[in-house]
Amino acid sequence: MEMVYNKKNMDVIANLWDRTGENSMVCPKCGSKMILIQLDPIQDYQNPYVAYDSIIECTKCEYEIKTESFTILGSVKSFDLKEIEIASWSPSGSRVISCYEHILDYSLLKKLKDSGELKEFLVVNKQVVQIIG
Ligand SMILES: [Zn+2]
């Protein structure tokens, strides 16, 4: 069992995701599908989301990564190749702009920014890795 939670691990997690959005996570050890499991919520009322202690685990072998994840509902305010700004709301209803690193597809982000659509972004270890809805 491998449990790591540090900066180096962020790169590992980023590499698990396939940028096309299909077949989202692949185990670096055996190539099987990996799944994200959200455990206990981490309480922090400052944030416009609820973060969870999470585990990304392989469905075949014992490889797993301990991490923190959350989803945030918002729209793309701005982005570049490395970072994205998401416009969302705090629990009290005020507008919040959050900035994260991302591994998303540039043309997809451009499309979302132009349309202003509300989407749910999956953030793992403070990095946007996938758009869910
Ligand atoms: Zn595996």
- Over residues 21-40, the pLDDT tens digits come to 554 678 889 988 888 888 88
Cα–Cα distances in angstroms (integers) from residue 19 to residues 45, 63, 108, in the given order: 31, 21, 10
Centre of ligand 1 from the C-alpha of residue 18, in Å = 16
CA of 66 to the centre of ligand 1 (A): 15
**pLDDT at residue 18 greater than cutoff 60:** no
Q: Tell me how far CA of residue 24 lies from CA of 90, 110, 126, in angstroms.
A: 28, 20, 17
Q: What is the pTM of this model?
A: 0.75
Helix (H) or strand (E) holding 8: helix 7-16
* Three-state DSSP class for residue 82: coil
* Structure confidence by residue, pLDDT tens digits, 71-83: 899 999 999 999 9
How would you classify residue 4: left for phi > 0, otherwise alpha for psi between -120 and 50, otherwise beta? beta
